Structure 1
Amino acid sequence: MNPETFFTHLWEDYIRMAPRAAKIKQLFEEQGETVLNDHVAFRTFGLDPIGLKTLEKPILALGYERFAPYRFEAKKLNAMGYLHPKPEYPRIFLSELEVEALSPKAQSIIQALVGQIDATVVENDDILWAGPLWSPVAYTDYEQLLEESEYAAWVAALGLHANHFTIAVNHLEKTPSLEAVLDFVESAGYAINESGGRVKGSPDVLLEQGSTLADRMEVNFADGIKRSIPTCYYEFARRYKGPDGALYNGFVAASADKIFESTNTKQ
């Protein structure tokens, strides 16, 4: 699979989970803007056979290279950023949950889900948008995970998907500032993630980020319960040049920590 095909399939899966993203993209295009993707992000459990080192294989096969590791202590996450030698391809951010840092009960729930995975499935080209690789989680287990980790509950219920795409604000002409972008999106009726402030980061750290709150989708749980839960969101990123004159390509952990909360159930 080449990067173009990969991102086409990924976008199609993403807007099925977050149909508002397609509408927001269209809003900008109707303003005459060319909407480019700054980065995409994925979530997973840090357990075989779907840990970071396994799921990064199809990313590396696309020609991407590891760029920088990240750590989120409070959320119990490890992550890696990836860059492609061809700058027209978006950055990729892959994170995994440290399952062993959760309670024994939560670990047991997650291990029971991951234990159902056919290890050969992870070799499929579509693994990063394959959804749940296990039978539906019980709603009581989902609630248990939710108490400890919104991230864990999200992956348990939804499986593997891009949890967000990101509009590259640097390439917008009519709304070149991130605040203007957020105002434009909000004025169209889409709620903005206010956790940590509307704009996360600053020119001082060479990156500003903001996002919508996640779309919601009805999910069938194992115990016959149906619930509408947060799915995916749309992010907006404005990058700045560093002392070397090059555009910053990384991520800022403190900002990303708050962006993760775009999928929180209590938003």
Structure 2
Amino acid sequence: MDIQQFFDRLWDDYVSMAPQAQRIHDAFVAEGETILNDHVAFRTFDRGMITLADLEPHLLALGYTRLEPYEFSAKKLRAYGYLPPTDDQPRVFLSELKCDELSAAAQHIIDGLVAQIDATRVRTPDVLWAGRLWNAPSFEAYQALMAESEYAAWLSIVGLRANHFTISVNHFHTFDSVEKVLAKVESLGLGINASGGRIKGSPQVLLEQGSTLADRAEFTFAGSQVEEIPTCYYEFAKRYRTVDGTLYQGFVAASADKIFESTDIRNPSHRSVLHAE
């Protein structure tokens, strides 16, 4: 599988979880803009056969190289950024939950999920859009994870897939700022993640980011209980040049920390949208 096939397949799975992304994409194309993907992000556990170290080789085989590590203490996460082999391909952000920082009860739930993974499913790059590699947890287990880590709860039911794609605002002409992009997205009737501000970051830290609130879809939990859960979202990023004139390639942990909350139903932005509906 070459890198273009990889991202084509990944996009198809992503928009099945976040149909808003296709709407946004098409809306900007209709305005004459060119869509270039700044980065794609994935979530995983640091348990079982799907740890960051297990998934990373698929990225390296596509020609990606490690950039730098990131830590998110409050959310109990570690991550790495990866640079693509050519500038027209997206960066990748791969994070994993530090499960040993959760309670014994939460770890027991996660261990029960990852124990079900078939080793053959992890050997090929399509594991990165495989979805859930285990049986659906009970809604009670989902809620127990949610009490400690929204990230863990999300992953337990949504599974392995692109958590978000990101439009490169640098390649836009008319909508040449993150705020202009967000205003256009809102004109489509879509909500914006305002946690930490509508725009995370600044020119001073060389990166500005904004994102939608995640789409929502019904999932069937164990026992046939059906609940609506946030799925995936679309992000928008504008990068600035460093002192040596090159475009900043990394990520800003403080901003990414708030971007994670695009999927968190407890985010006040989600609650306001739900109330409006």
TM tier, smaller: over 0.9
Q: CA deviation at 1:85?
A: 2.8
SS at match of 2:22: helix
* 8 Å CA contact retained: 2:48, 2:111: no
Which residue type is aligned with residue 247 of structure 1? L
Alignment partner of 1:19 is 2:19: yes
Q: 1:148 deviation in Å?
A: 0.6
When normalised by structure 2's length, the TM-score is: 0.95
- State the AA in 1 paired with 2:208: E
2:41 is matched with which residue?
A: 41
1:233-248 to 2 correspondences below 5 Å:
233-248=233-248
Alpha carbon RMSD of aligned pairs, Å?
0.6
Q: Report whether the alignment pairs 1:140 with 2:150.
A: no
Alignment of 1:42-191 (within 5 A): 42-191=42-191
State the distance in 1 between where 2:85 and 2:17 align. 29
* Distance (Å, rounded) in 2 between the aligned partners of 1:125 and 1:233: 22
Tell me the SS of whatever aligns to 2:39.
strand
Aligned twin of 2:252:
252
Which amino acid counterpart does residue 12 of structure 2 have in structure 1?
E
- TM-score (ref. length: structure 1): 0.99
Q: Percent identity?
A: 59
Which runs of 5 or more structure 1 residues have no equivalent in the other structure? none
Distance in 2, matches of 1:177 and 1:160, equals 31
Indicate whether 1:2 and 2:2 are aligned: yes
1:49 and 1:85 mapped to 2: Cα distance?
A: 26
Compute the displacement of 1:116 (Å).
0.8
Paired with 1:237 and 1:265, the residues of 2 have a C-alpha distance of 23
Q: Does the aligned pair in 1 maintain the 2:164–2:232 contact within 8 Å?
A: yes
Q: Secondary structure at the match of 2:106?
A: helix
Equivalent position amino acid for 2:152 in 1: A
Offset of 1:124 from its aligned partner? Answer: 2.1
Which region of structure 1 is more displaced relative to structure 2, 247-256 or 113-122?
A: 113-122
The 1-side partners of 2:47 and 2:12 are apart by 27
Contact 2:40–2:166 (8 Å) recurs in 1: yes
Residue 211 (structure 1) aligns with = 211
Query: What is the aligned residue count?
Result: 267
SS at match of 1:131: coil
Q: Distance in 1 between matches of 2:21 and 2:88?
A: 21
The separation in 2 between residues aligned to 1:256 and 1:10, in whole angstroms, is: 21
Q: Which amino acid aligns with 2:35?
A: V
More off after superposition, 77-86 vs 228-237? 77-86
Residue 223 of structure 1 and its aligned partner are, at CA, apart by 1.9
**Structure 1 residue 187, shift from structure 2 partner:** 1.6
Letter in 2 for 1:194: A
1:125 Cα shift?
2.7
User: Residues of 2 paired with 1:84 and 1:237: CA distance?
Assistant: 17
Q: How far off its partner does 1:48 sit?
A: 2.6
Please tell me the residue identity of whatever aligns with 1:85.
P
Task: List 4+ stretches of structure 1 deviating above 2 A.
Answer: none
Q: Which SS does the other structure have where 1:42 is aligned?
A: strand
Secondary structure class of the residue paired with 1:49: coil
Distance 1:30 1:200 in 2: 27
- Structure 2: where are the runs of 5+ without partners? 271-277
Q: Secondary structure at the match of 1:148?
A: coil
Amino acid at match of 1:132: R
In 2, Cα distance between equivalents of 1:240 and 1:214: 26
Secondary structure at the counterpart of residue 78 of structure 1: strand
